[in-house]
Structure formats: C-alpha cells, structure tokens
Amino acid sequence: MSLIDRYIFYLKNVKRYSPRTIDIYTGALKKYVLMKFGTDDIEDDELVSALNRSEIREHEVRLMELDEPMSPRTVRLHMSALSGFCRFLIKNDLIESNPVSLVPKPKVEKRIPAFYSEDSMQNYFDATMAYASEELLESFLQCHDSSHGKMLYEKRLARVVIAALYGLGLRRAELIALNLSDVDFGRKLVKVHGKGDKMREIPLVPLLSEEILLYLKAVEVMCGRKRSLKEPLFVTYDGSPLYPAYVDRAVKSALGEVGNIRGQKSPHVLRHSLATELMNEETPLNSIKELLGHSSLAATQVYTHSSIARLKDSYERAHPRAKNGGKHGD
C-alpha cells in the first residue's frame, strides 16, 4: 500500500472524514504527483523527497497558472490536503517538519454566507403545508404503491428534509447519517454524528417533531413493517438510505417551486440560514458554535458578517442622519 493510500485509509477509518472530503484530498494529492512527476507510478521515497518548500511553492504557482486557473480558495484547499499529508508523514517519522507551513497561501476574500430570510422560509412552509398534513397521509395510504403515491412521498420527504436541515442546522452528511435511534422524542433531542465522529445533541422543537412523526407513519406504510432503530431516519421511496445527490436534488427542486426563494438552493444554505437567524436574535456565539458542531469559534464568527450587514442596512434605512444624506437635521 502506497503512502497516499495509507493516508487516505487513515482519514477514512481513523479521522472519519466525510466521503466528499476524502475525494477532495485524494484528488489534490494525485494532482501533486502527476504535475510533479508526469505519472502516478512512483516510489514512496521519490514522493517524500519532493515534499519540500520550493517544490510545494512551485506547485502552488502552477495551480494558479493552469489554462483554467484554480481560484485562491481551491488552491488553499489543495495546500490543506498536502499539509495534512505532511502531518501524517511526521506522525510516522518519515519527515521532520511540515514544508507546507513555510509556503504563503493565496489570499481569499471573505464571503458572507448565503442565507434565506426567515420570511422566505416561512413562505416555503406555508406553501407546502399540504405535504405535512394528515390528509396527505390518508391519500398516501390509499395509493402508496402507485406513481401518484411515489410523487406524494417524495414531496413529503423533501419537506421534512428541508425542515430538519433548517431546524437543526445540519450538514448534509449529518442528515444522511441519522438513524431512527438518534431521535429521542421523549427527551426532545436529536443526536448528531458530526465531523470527525464527534457527537452533539440538538433540541427537537415541537413542530419539527410532529413533521418527523408524520413522515415516519408514511415510511412504515411504504415498507409494510416496523423498522429497526438502527435503520436510517430518512429513506428514498424504495426504502434505500439517502445519498448526497438525492438530497441536493430534493432541496433544489422543492425550494425552486416557491417563487420568493432566490439564489443558490442547497442544504448548506439552509444551515447558514438557521445560524444567521440565531445570530440576529443575539444568541451567544458559543451556543451557535455548539449547535452547528464547529471545532472553533472562528468558523462561527463568519455569521457575524451577515448580522453586521443587516444592521448596516437597517441603519441606512432608519437613522435620521443616514436618511438625510449625512446632513444636519432640524
């Protein structure tokens, strides 16, 4: 097994990185090897000898000078993959220090996370209320094995997925990983398996609890049996676990049917939306950090930019001097 394969095995089985992160890191390391050697058929000692400050700096420059140059953000991601690999080599006594730490990273403009307004989300839930009703459940019971039944189920699933992503502030991978045993309706808590296999508990509000319970009734009818607590909380129409592309499509399609939700339609924007609302309600930053499962406050502080932008907008609309163009009033 090559050093890169050993590192990927370590990320997957020890660090418990998500499949998406593992794919990104694998691609970044393979790109380094191919751009440096022109082939992936190299010996481990050749790779180790190529991990020095000058080689890595040269690689960084090449990434930014490709026919289709990488953005500074993507270049930084590639550098992070190389840095992680070097830390793994240090841990295994194959190199003494991390050369990536000596290479300056390209500057990245801070982006304010996209989010949906509270009114936009309320409009979505109002517009799709029928998919969370007892009446829809009754209709599904009568035709669950037909194409119409499949359509009703998928509409119901999309709504409860959006409600969970938005109501719990989940990452897509965290939503997919939820099992029936992770939802404690009695204690009103959801146990979430976060990044690095870290666990956290999130309060389950009554409205979301009702949505999930109604959805589970439909699933039991569809499956024709009582499901095990070890089974996934959310499943497709054929009873299979959800997967990333399915969640992305469901969210994009469902939000796209509501006219007042503009911009990117994705699971992560729903997570941003909850964080932004909590920030605007002056929820302590550390509480938001714990709810979102961030490893540091720095990751959470990005939402303060959204709050400041909103404050600035309110100021410019409401402050007397702002309305007067900064002139002295009466």
> What residues are annotated to the active site?
171, 195, 268, 271, 294, 303
User: Rounded to whole angstroms, how far apart are CA atoms 175 and 239?
Assistant: 16
Judge whether 156 and 136 are in contact, CB under 8 Å.
yes
Q: Which residues contact 53 (CB under 8 A, 6 or more apart)?
A: 99, 102, 103
Tokens coding 187: 């204690």
- Phi and psi torsions of 257, nearest 5°: -80, -10
Judge whether 59 and 32 are in contact, CB under 8 Å.
yes
Conformation bin of residue 77: beta by default, left when phi > 0, alpha when psi is -120 to 50 = alpha
In the sheet with 199-203, reading across from the earlier edge strand, the strands are 183-184, 189-193, 199-203
| Of residues 207, 203, 212, the one with CA closest to residue 278 | 203
User: Rounded to whole angstroms, how far apart are CA atoms 72 and 280?
Assistant: 30
Q: Give the burial string for 5-25 (b: 16+ CB within 10 Å, else e).
A: eebbebbeeeeebbeebeebb
Amino acid occupying residue 312: K
User: Rounded to whole angstroms, how far apart are CA atoms 12 and 24?
Assistant: 12
User: Within a 10 A sphere around the Cβ of 127, how many other Cβ atoms?
Assistant: 15
Give Cα separations from 13 to 19, 20, 30, 266 (angstroms): 11, 14, 20, 28
- Phi and psi torsions of 241, nearest 5°: -65, 150
